Amino acid sequence: MTSTIQNLFTELGVALADYEGNDIASISPINGLPLASLRADNAAQVAHKIDRAHNAFLAWRKVPAPRRGELIRLFGEELRTHKAALGQLVTLEAGKILQEGLGEVQEMIDICDFAVGLSRQLYGLTIASERPGHRMMEVWHPLGVVGVISAFNFPVAVWAWNAALAFVCGNSVTWKPSEKTPLTALATHALFMKAVARFNATSNDAPDGLAELIIGARDTGAQMVEDKRVALVSATGSTRMGRQVAEVCAKRLTRTILELGGNNAMIVAPSADLEMAVRAITFSAVGTAGQRCTTLRRLFVHDSIYETLVPRLKKIYAGLPIGNPLEKSTLIGPLVDQAAFEAMQTALNAAKTDQGVVFGGDRVIVIGSEGGYYVRPAIVEMPSQTAHMHHEIFAPIMYIVRYQDLQQAIDWNNEVPQGLSSSIFTTDMREAELFMSDVGSDCGIANVNIGPSGAEIGGAFGGEKDTGGGRESGSDAWKAYMRRSTNTVNYSHSLPLAQGISFDI
Ligand code: NAD
């Protein structure tokens, strides 16, 4: 283990000795070298952690919601204090550039702030009853153990989106992070436990087992999904994983929030502000080295501006600074591993067989980080949208297709199985409104004059079709973490039945 990691663990309060073992190696994408090696939880340990979480739920649900919010406020403080250290660890373990590592922690802070406010706003409804002397209302109650499964590319923010809401809603949380990024999970868990200790210094409201961290690979996640005590499974990752999780949860009739793969498009219309479009396209397509669920993968450019826009993009692509993500000047860090690099090369070869013209996409050797898989992001000019473009390739490949008619571009946007994010660049109000309308983009996110990636926590986040249909984060996404109870109270002296039914005994 390097001294950098050791120092970060010390600052973040991670007791690595409690987790060390030979089952899961955390490999830094920066240079392909191991950062640390951990033991995985065995079946009995997983069951024990879920048991603890279930018992914690039974106690935590009785703590008033605003008091639960206080714990999240303290956690937000810990994140603010340790933002630099956790952000750096995200960069070391997930390979995203430092600015994005810090941005990921900021997203955790933002959702904590949101959840603190939410803890005083878990509103129900009062509904007009059809019966005299009756009051009808809906109230929201805590749900149970929330099982979170997260992906490597947002190793800590996704847990926070779920956990901050789940905790203020009165639930406990078990977390199975990606086997590629367990160290950031240990650090996040340690910071949460610091907040719990401060919270419990004034009372003993936060029970043991409120947050349980489960270390392991797919089989460990699968065990958590199968456990009947887990009342909601919130799983983020590939569509393949989501189908497996959905099947198991459907069998035991358990709720899910599925946040799965995306295949996001942007339309650039003739009236677009091209200066803005160029910046948005570049950030959305190459940010996080093309490893965001919302990464721009398909660009539909109107024929009339194609020859202006595409050469500019190529020029920018040719000069993008690729290198160690810890260095300030770097904009493109490494792919997560060799498998990601190979999948990218396979996709580029497939595009060539479809008459695609490939620009970039080759491996870049970074001096001092020779074991990392760095690539020049690729632009692939396609004669049309082909079947290969229907697949999400988790790497920086942007396919570009010309269009003549906006309806054709919207149809291409919607043609793929995924439905996460989309955007249009236009200054024509009719085009913008059509794109956002019921016959426009079929995605969970449809933006105008910004790219498809880089969402704020205030809006509900998620997508349709193969993206899974789940919603997390802001707006009323909290309702998925609670159970609704409809109460009718009769304060009259008679017992009228609904629908005027007469039932005299
Ligand atoms: P992945 O599907 O390989 O793994 C994600 C997580 O699922 C890991 O923790 C893994 O151990 C677990 N897992 C896999 N199979 C499982 C099973 N059968 N039962 C239980 N757990 C299982 O995904 P990845 O490579 O880590 O991440 C990249 C993918 O995640 C991309 O498809 C990306 O689009 C998607 N993603 C989606 C969102 C979103 O909000 N829609 C956000 C981030 C990433």
CB of residue 369 inside a 6 A radius of ligand 1: no
CB of residue 249 inside a 6 A radius of ligand 1: no
Integer angstrom CA distances of residue 469 from 53, 90, 150: 27, 27, 16
Angle at 485 (CA atoms; ends 483, 491), nearest 5 degrees: 165
Residue 383 makes CB contacts below 8 A (sequence gap 6+) with 354, 355, 356, 401
Best of 23, 100, 233, 236 for a ligand 1 pocket test (most atoms within 8 Å of beta carbon): 236
State the Cα–Cα distance between residues 145 and 129, nearest whole angstrom: 34
Look at the block and give the residue holding tokens 């999948």: 343
- Domain locations in the chain? 3-35+44-260+468-486, 264-448
138 tagged catalytic:
no
| Nearest ligand 1 atom to alpha carbon 261 | 34
Tallying the residues shown for the chain, one arrives at 505
Contact 340, 395 (CB under 8 A): yes
Burial class (CB in 10 A: 0-12, 13-18, 19+), 424: buried
CB of residue 222 inside a 6 A radius of ligand 1: yes
State the Cα–Cα distance between residues 176 and 224, nearest whole angstrom: 8
Best of 153, 176, 245, 297 for a ligand 1 pocket test (most atoms within 8 Å of beta carbon): 153
| Nearest ligand 1 atom to alpha carbon 420 | 41
- Residue spans of alpha helices (H) in 61-156: 65-81, 83-94, 98-118
Instruction: Give me Rg for the CA atoms of the chain.
Output: 24
DSSP codes joined into one string, 216-273: --HHHHHHHHH-TTEEEEEEES-HHHHHHHHHHHHHTT-EEEEE----EEEEE-TT--
CB of residue 107 inside a 6 A radius of ligand 1: no
The pLDDT assigned to 203 comes to 87
Contact 100, 287 (CB under 8 A): yes
Q: Which amino acid is at 449?
A: N
CA of 177 to the centre of ligand 1 (A): 9
CA of 241 to the centre of ligand 1 (A): 6
CA of 392 to the centre of ligand 1 (A): 13
Best of 149, 248, 418 for a ligand 1 pocket test (most atoms within 8 Å of beta carbon): 149
CA of 303 to the centre of ligand 1 (A): 37
Give backbone dihedrals phi and psi of 236, rounded to 5 degrees, phi first.
-115, 130
| Nearest ligand 1 atom to alpha carbon 237 | 30
Farthest-apart Cα atoms in the chain, separation: 89
| Nearest ligand 1 atom to alpha carbon 467 | 41
Of 78, 179, 259, 431, the active-site residue reads: 259
CA of 237 to the centre of ligand 1 (A): 2
What is the CATH architecture of 3-35+44-260+468-486? 3-Layer(aba) Sandwich (3.40)
CA of 182 to the centre of ligand 1 (A): 14
CB of residue 217 inside a 6 A radius of ligand 1: yes
State the Cα–Cα distance between residues 424 and 431, nearest whole angstrom: 9
State the Cα–Cα distance between residues 189 and 89, nearest whole angstrom: 13
CB of residue 213 inside a 6 A radius of ligand 1: no
CA of 336 to the centre of ligand 1 (A): 13
Angle at 329 (CA atoms; ends 110, 104), nearest 5 degrees: 15
Which residue, 198, 193, 120, is CA-closest to 163? 193
Closest protein CA for atom 11 of ligand 1: 218
State the Cα–Cα distance between residues 289 and 277, nearest whole angstrom: 19
Which residue, 66, 87, 75, 89, is CA-closest to 2? 89
Closest protein CA for atom 22 of ligand 1: 218
**CATH 3.40.309.10 applies to domain 264-448:** yes
How would you write the pLDDT of the chain (505 residues) with one tens digit per residue? 688 999 999 999 999 999 999 999 999 999 999 999 999 999 999 999 999 999 999 999 999 999 999 999 999 999 999 999 999 999 999 999 999 999 999 999 999 999 999 999 999 999 999 999 999 999 999 999 999 999 999 999 999 999 999 999 999 999 999 999 999 999 999 999 999 999 999 988 999 999 999 999 999 999 999 999 999 999 999 999 999 999 999 999 999 999 999 999 999 999 999 999 999 999 999 999 999 999 999 999 999 999 999 999 999 999 999 999 999 999 999 999 999 999 999 999 999 999 999 999 999 999 999 999 999 999 999 999 999 999 999 999 999 999 999 999 999 999 999 999 999 999 999 999 999 999 999 999 999 999 999 899 999 999 999 999 999 999 999 999 999 999 999 999 999 999 999 999 9
CB of residue 292 inside a 6 A radius of ligand 1: no
pTM value? 0.97
State the Cα–Cα distance between residues 149 and 176, nearest whole angstrom: 5
